[in-house]
Structure 1
Amino acid sequence: MESANGVQYTKDKDRKGRRRVNDVHQLSRMPGHCPVSKCSDIIFPSNIMMHMLHKHTNSAKCTTSEIFDHRPLLLCFDPTGLEYGDNCCVACLMYGGMKGKMYTRPAVDNLSLPNSGLLNSYHKYDDYLPVMMMVCRSSWFAQMKDKQVEREMVLTNEGKADIYVLWLVAPVTTRKVYYTLTVYDRHYISSRSSIRTVRDYTSFQNPSDFLPNDENYILLRQSEVLELMCISKTVLSKSGKKLPPGIPMELIIYQAPLKPSGIRSSETELHEALKEAQKIYSKYIMPRTKGPVKRKVSGKLSLTRRPCSKTRGLFQHTSN
């Protein structure tokens, strides 16, 4: 006979599943413009995967790959040749939940709507979530809320305040989808990592529109890009071959952060461990003096003691 706890767990699980199904049914099916500047197509959420695979995977600077929960993906971002203000797609990604677990695929797990219109071998991505990594060459002045002042400052300081904005877009989902993007230099000596959430593709995609009010993007200054690419140096790999141009990046997409593998100690256990550490420190580590220290004073200092003769003579000579 099933226990009361087991029955309650089953009920909670069914209730949670029904709530997720309802959330998926309430997702907006409103179409939006493709986030790529040079693409004028208006696409529905269920057709983004088809549009992405057929129109934006042929570029030499675009990476096309499957990506799974908490599985890092190595990318290369080449900023050379980017035109100011143009949104470019540098990666077309198919997010499939946890690798090898079909029930965690976004459409099966009620995270997003299923994809439609996929042909032939692309049918395997019916339940995946399409994700596009975007980049735009913009300026620091894009963060200003007064757009008239922004335009004037851009014209006055053309090419002097360039930045590169990177962000991820996808169809609207029932739960937040997070990602960690780590940018390396070409020697993998220094790095910079940020955690953000994937943006809805129907929202504003021009950095000038979303930088003042949004935080789900990553900024790279022009000086940082030049330093990371080591343009002034001939960069060779360990095998002696010349590395391809661009900045190495590591992308990790996930719905929830990984839980710590270790078992957390209780407050009582932490207090006991602290006391034990204090005992060990006082017994073995704290410095101790060797031998007795005599603290007895051999004599008393008189408060009416007169100065020595030389000093007294000096005072007398001064007074005279």
Structure 2
Amino acid sequence: MNMANCCKDCDRLQPRSSGSAPVRPEFQQPTMYDHFQNFQRFKMQKQEAQAIEKRKEELLKMNTNFTNWNPSCSKEMFDQFSTQDVALFRQQIRLAQNGERSILESLTAPTEGGASSIGGTATVAGTGTGTGTSVGDKSLKKKDSLLTISRTPVQCPIGACGRTIGVTSVLSHYLRDHSEDFGVQCQEIYGGKRSVLIFDATTLDFRDNVCLGVLAYGGVKEKCTNPPAQRGICIHNAFLPKPHEHLDAHLPILIMACRTSWSAMLKDKQLEARITKPEDSNQHLLVIWLVSVQSTKPIHCTLTAYDRTMTSSRSVIAQVRQLNESQNPSEFLVNDANSLRLSNGEINILSHDGNDCVHLEVMINEYDQ
């Protein structure tokens, strides 16, 4: 071991022999080079933390609703309004490979663009034609739209579960906890593309919400580079299993179904309780709807139920409902028409008197406002 490169501070900790024998280190003594590498690593982590905290403060300044914010509430504001932005900058830090200067430039560039777009002056860096300002305005609008999305936890709409989950963990919850219950794997879908699933309507219990399948909506065009979360439509998914990490920017959509009674559409709930007879199959009504996390723009869908021979079908164009709303058909059927409703007679036609399964075709449509 070359004692010339050893750290002098660590060398003082070595036990000294009482005789004239040479000193033999009891452990592998760190060198000055090791201390230098650890210091550089610590320095990078500290600069990353400082840049993220600076970006959080800029987000609060950009938010017009919190211009006179109370410093005592800053931590709650950080947790509520900067989740996706911090994740984006952490990703930029991981991808940066050109040293500390490039990391800091990638972190501070959006801040400067955002500050210039908020102020009254129209400053453009460089000698361009003003495209930098338009890009900054679009980025600011996307961030402002994401601020309107509630981060309040939601309840799992499956009747047998009912667990409270975070809005960023919805897709992860179904992939990890309910994948075996469905029998249908998560399907990636794009705008205008069809997804077909088959289910047995006779196995559904009365007034029990079940999930027929999970869709991961990736955008208007297949293999597009702008999934919904990157366009500011929804927030990113978190804690996904490794085989589904590529769905972090997709919009999770749940296909829900419930067998209820036609009396659920009555406004008078006392009358509904008196006339509802679960054992009478002629009163049964199958409700199928799509539900997702809160988004900044409405997402529509086309639901078509048809039989095995494709001779009979029922179809509806509806809007994807939100998880922060009630998923009890007795509560939303009165004022909400965004669902496919099949009476007992229609179910018998589509299932050939219960001998076949019902086919359900789902198409997601995204319209510009």
Whether these two folds match at TM > 0.5 is yes
Letter matched to residue 68 of structure 1: Y
Write out per-residue CA displacement over residues 94-133 of structure 1, whole angstroms, 9 at most, x where no aligned residue.
1111211121x11111110001111322211111111100
Higher RCO structure, 1 or 2 (CA under 8 Å, sep 6+): 1
Deviation (angstroms), 1:21: 2.1
Q: Secondary structure at the match of 1:59?
A: helix
Q: Within the alignment, does 1:246 sit opposite 2:357 as a pair?
A: yes
Q: Within the alignment, does 1:168 sit opposite 2:290 as a pair?
A: yes
User: 2:52 corresponds to which residue?
Assistant: none
1:67/1:73 contact within 8 Å kept: yes
> Separation in 1 of the partners of 2:197 and 2:187?
10
Matches within 5 A, 1:135-284: 135-155=257-277, 158-231=280-353, 245-256=356-367
Matches within 5 A, 1:1-320: 14-59=136-181, 61-97=183-219, 98-103=221-226, 105-155=227-277, 158-231=280-353, 245-256=356-367
1:31/1:42 contact within 8 Å kept: yes
User: 1:265 corresponds to which residue?
Assistant: none
User: 2:4 corresponds to which residue?
Assistant: none
> How many residues were matched structurally?
240
Q: Secondary structure at the match of 1:160?
A: helix
Letter matched to residue 166 of structure 2: F
Q: Secondary structure at the match of 1:80?
A: helix
Write out per-residue CA displacement over residues 55-78 of structure 1, whole angstroms, 9 at most, x where no aligned residue.
222125545311111111111132
Letter matched to residue 90 of structure 1: L
Q: Secondary structure at the match of 1:73?
A: strand
1:183/1:191 contact within 8 Å kept: yes
Q: Secondary structure at the match of 1:48?
A: helix
Q: Provide TM-score, normalisation by structure 1.
A: 0.70
Write out per-residue CA displacement over residues 146-185 of structure 1, whole angstroms, 9 at most, x where no aligned residue.
1111011104984331010000010000000010111112
Letter matched to residue 177 of structure 1: I
Structure 1 residues 51 and 230, CA, compared in 2 at 3 Å: closer, same or farther? same
1:56/1:89 contact within 8 Å kept: no
Q: Could you list the runs of 4 or more consecutive aligned residues of structure 1 that deviate by over 6 angstroms after TM superposition?
A: none
Q: Which of 1 and 2 has greater Rg?
A: 1
1:30/1:44 contact within 8 Å kept: yes
Structure 2, unaligned runs of 5 or more: 1-127
Tell me the C-alpha RMSD between the 2 structures: 2.2
Letter matched to residue 137 of structure 1: R
Letter matched to residue 99 of structure 1: E
User: 1:278 corresponds to which residue?
Assistant: none
Letter matched to residue 251 of structure 1: V
Letter matched to residue 284 of structure 2: D
> Separation in 2 of the partners of 1:58 and 1:249?
20
> Separation in 2 of the partners of 1:250 and 1:119?
27
User: 2:104 corresponds to which residue?
Assistant: none
Letter matched to residue 165 of structure 2: I
Write out per-residue CA displacement over residues 79-107 of structure 1, whole angstroms, 9 at most, x where no aligned residue.
1221100000001111111211121x111
Q: Secondary structure at the match of 2:311?
A: coil
User: 1:315 corresponds to which residue?
Assistant: none
Write out per-residue CA displacement over residues 181-204 of structure 1, whole angstroms, 9 at most, x where no aligned residue.
111121112322211010011211
